[in-house]
A and B are shown apart, each in its own frame.
Chain A
Amino acid sequence: MTTRKDLTVGEALRTQGISRRGFLKFCAATASMMALPPSSIPAIAAALEKARRPSVIWLSFQECTGCTESLTRSHAPSIEGLIFNVISLDYHHTLQAASGDAAEEARHTAMKENDGKYIVVVDGSIPVKDGGVYSTIAGMTNLEILKETVAGAAAVIAVGSCAAFGGLPAANPNPTGAVSVSELVKDKPVVNIPGCPPIPVVISGVIAHFLTFGLPELDNLGRPKAFYGTSIHDRCYRRPFYDKGLFAETFDDEGAKKGWCLYKLGCKGPTTYNACATMKWNNGTSFPIEAGHGCIGCSEPQFWDAGGFYKALAEPTGNFTTTAGVAVAAGAALGAASGLLNRNKQKQAGAEHETVTADNLEKEQTS
């Protein structure tokens, strides 16, 4: 599609033959995407009408392309897909037709033409061990590309748990020294959109927020509060069963068939902040808990090393049996020794006719 960069979003949509009704529908979906109430639709319409199409540079580092898959395979041609018509995606090495020098040229051109205004989207973590040699593109390490590209950016969006928190590449023992974007970028606003992958609507929702109202409000982990403000558990349709104390004990018991709470099967819903329970997946069809599997907490930091997907949150994660066994034996041995010692003392005292005075008792009380 040929798009002119000086068009506003409203104009761009109109040139695609989209009527006002279509635009309103688009705004309604955008409001829903941004987790805003329907009453904000007129404000969104007004802002989108005027917004300029931003240049977006998408950098893929140590990742599996699942995040890009999530977004592009969501449901074309969709309203979310339209968001990508209202931005100018100038560099994305998986999606772009150009390759080699031409691709890198496109990145440099976009950076020069939109200096200080473009948005950088990053998926994947950045290896920093041994000078960052573990992942390179066009002869440059990921670290170098990130630094160079972010220098002139307005903001950075870290898409996926790898970019947001290090994700799988940073999982123990983290052989490549992988780190998140926010550990490297300190002088630009960084928005984290964690998830493995993130909900596609959330990715486009954040971009839509950028277009309409600027940077969204973030929590202490840099996540937009609108999408990551409540835990899965609090918005879960199975929550009433948790409160009633009705739990599935195995994946095929009566409780599982009746759709009871999956807490005991290791559901991480209580400690996971994401919008899956309300926005759901595959265009609102379902989400993991609705499909009968507990949440694995994929949008939380270190979810891979967080103590087992099938261990209930209340369960200890360590190997306590050996230490406890040793402790029991040691306690018993020491206790017996001390008991016997006291017994001897007692006997001796009896034999020597020691007397106990009020002073002795006083001393024992205070010691």
Chain B
Amino acid sequence: MNEVNFLLWVRGIGFDIALAIFVFGIMLRFMEILWLGRKPELAAVRGNGVASGMRTVFSRFLPADSNTLKRSLFMVVAGYGFHIGLFVVIFLFAPHAELIESVTGLSWPTLPSPIVDFFTVLTMLALMALLWRRLTHPVLRFLSTGEDYLMLLLTFLPVLTGYMAFHHLFLSYGWMLGLHILSVELLLIVIPFTKLIHMFTLFMARWYSGFMAGQKGVQS
């Protein structure tokens, strides 16, 4: 298989397979959760559940209090660093936006590539810092499973290959671009079936706990 064939495959059949598994998996997981249902709430409603639910979706982006922040400063900085970095890199790089537009029809303005490049480096550094912490922190290390390391790797690879393709490192642009797309396709395939599903269920879960707390008249 030459460079052109490889690139064609990942842009063609490879993408079709990955996208199909991805949307299939997302639908499967959501329907599973939603159809499971909840027990009817018999207690008297004491507050606005919807407003509380909406608030909670956003309020939990912020650290709970200064004490928690101080105790886990490293996790907050590295965690936010790589999440924001990923957001910028995935959504605000022009070729990525072009891909999303071609699939969904949605478009938005993008950033100059040197800025995206900076965020790429930031993301990689944050991910490496998180791996280092996972390996050195005794409790975290004890709790870590193979999946945790695999997810870290699968998240890291698209960023790394994208960076290497952009800067023409090691392989020709075509091969590297192909590897980059392939690594993203791997990631797309595993997202619905691993802890990475949190990128979607997170909002539902937050809304639900906010909603329940709101109905009970307590702060979430």
A interface residues (Cβ-Cβ under 8 A, vs B):
231, 233-234, 242-245, 247, 263-264, 270-271, 300-302, 305-307, 311-320, 323-324, 326-328, 330-336, 338-340, 342-343, 346
A264 vs B94: C-alpha distance when bound (angstroms): 9
Residues of A within 8 A of B28 (CB): 331-332, 334-335, 338
Pick the 10 closest A-B CB pairs, nearest first. A335-B31, A339-B35, A331-B27, A331-B24, A327-B24, A314-B95, A327-B20, A335-B28, A316-B15, A318-B12
Report whether A307 and B31 are in contact in the complex, using a CB–CB cutoff of 8 Å: no
Nearest-Cβ distance from residue A174 to partner chain B, whole angstroms = 14
Once A and B bind, how many residue pairs between them come within 8 Å at the CB atom? 141
A30 vs B101: C-alpha distance when bound (angstroms): 47
A251 vs B37: C-alpha distance when bound (angstroms): 52
Report whether B23 and A306 are in contact in the complex, using a CB–CB cutoff of 8 Å: no
A326 vs B20: C-alpha distance when bound (angstroms): 8
A330 vs B13: C-alpha distance when bound (angstroms): 19
Residues of A within 8 A of B96 (CB): 314
Residues of B within 8 A of A305 (CB): 8
Report whether B94 and A263 are in contact in the complex, using a CB–CB cutoff of 8 Å: yes
Report whether B8 and A330 are in contact in the complex, using a CB–CB cutoff of 8 Å: no
A261 vs B80: C-alpha distance when bound (angstroms): 33
Residues of B within 8 A of A323 (CB): 16, 19-20
Residues of A within 8 A of B23 (CB): 324, 327-328, 331
A315-B110 contact, Cβ under 8 Å, with A271-B7, A331-B27, A340-B35: no
A327 vs B31: C-alpha distance when bound (angstroms): 13
B interface residues (Cβ-Cβ under 8 A, vs A):
2-5, 7-8, 11-13, 15-16, 19-21, 23-37, 94-96, 98-99, 102-103, 109-114, 168, 173-174, 177
Residues of B within 8 A of A320 (CB): 15-16, 19-20, 103
Report whether A318 and B15 are in contact in the complex, using a CB–CB cutoff of 8 Å: yes
Residues of A within 8 A of B13 (CB): 318
Tell me which of A302, A333, A335 has the highest count of chain B C-beta atoms within 10 A of its own C-beta: A335
Nearest-Cβ distance from residue B38 to partner chain A, whole angstroms = 10
A305 vs B114: C-alpha distance when bound (angstroms): 32
A307-B11 contact, Cβ under 8 Å, with A328-B24, A331-B27: yes
30 contacts between A and B (CB under 8 A): A242-B94, A244-B113, A245-B111, A264-B98, A271-B7, A301-B2, A301-B3, A302-B5, A305-B8, A306-B7, A312-B95, A314-B98, A315-B11, A315-B99, A316-B11, A316-B15, A316-B19, A316-B102, A316-B103, A318-B11, A318-B15, A318-B16, A319-B16, A320-B103, A328-B23, A336-B35, A339-B32, A339-B33, A339-B37, A343-B37
Residues of A within 8 A of B33 (CB): 339
Report whether A317 and B111 are in contact in the complex, using a CB–CB cutoff of 8 Å: no
Report whether A330 and B94 are in contact in the complex, using a CB–CB cutoff of 8 Å: no
Residues of B within 8 A of A306 (CB): 4, 7-8
Report whether B16 and A316 are in contact in the complex, using a CB–CB cutoff of 8 Å: yes
Residues of B within 8 A of A271 (CB): 7, 173-174, 177
Nearest-Cβ distance from residue A87 to partner chain B, whole angstroms = 32
A243-B113 contact, Cβ under 8 Å, with A231-B173, A339-B33: yes
A339-B102 contact, Cβ under 8 Å, with A301-B4, A328-B24: no
A313-B15 contact, Cβ under 8 Å, with A245-B110, A324-B20, A326-B20: no
A301 vs B4: C-alpha distance when bound (angstroms): 7
A336 vs B109: C-alpha distance when bound (angstroms): 37
Residues of B within 8 A of A231 (CB): 173
Nearest-Cβ distance from residue A195 to partner chain B, whole angstroms = 15
The chain B residue sitting closest to A329, CB to CB, is B27
A305 vs B2: C-alpha distance when bound (angstroms): 14
The chain A residue sitting closest to B100, CB to CB, is A314
A328 vs B94: C-alpha distance when bound (angstroms): 27
Report whether A330 and B11 are in contact in the complex, using a CB–CB cutoff of 8 Å: no
A318 vs B18: C-alpha distance when bound (angstroms): 12
**Cross-interface CB contact of A339 among B2, B15, B34, B95, cutoff 8 Å:** B34
Tell me which of B28, B30, B112 has the highest count of chain A C-beta atoms within 10 A of its own C-beta: B28
Residues of A within 8 A of B94 (CB): 242, 245, 247, 263-264
Nearest-Cβ distance from residue A345 to partner chain B, whole angstroms = 10
Report whether A332 and B16 are in contact in the complex, using a CB–CB cutoff of 8 Å: no
Report whether A245 and B113 are in contact in the complex, using a CB–CB cutoff of 8 Å: yes
A300 vs B16: C-alpha distance when bound (angstroms): 24
A244-B112 contact, Cβ under 8 Å, with A316-B103, A331-B28, A334-B28: yes
Report whether B11 and A317 are in contact in the complex, using a CB–CB cutoff of 8 Å: yes
Nearest-Cβ distance from residue B11 to partner chain A, whole angstroms = 5
A340 vs B34: C-alpha distance when bound (angstroms): 9
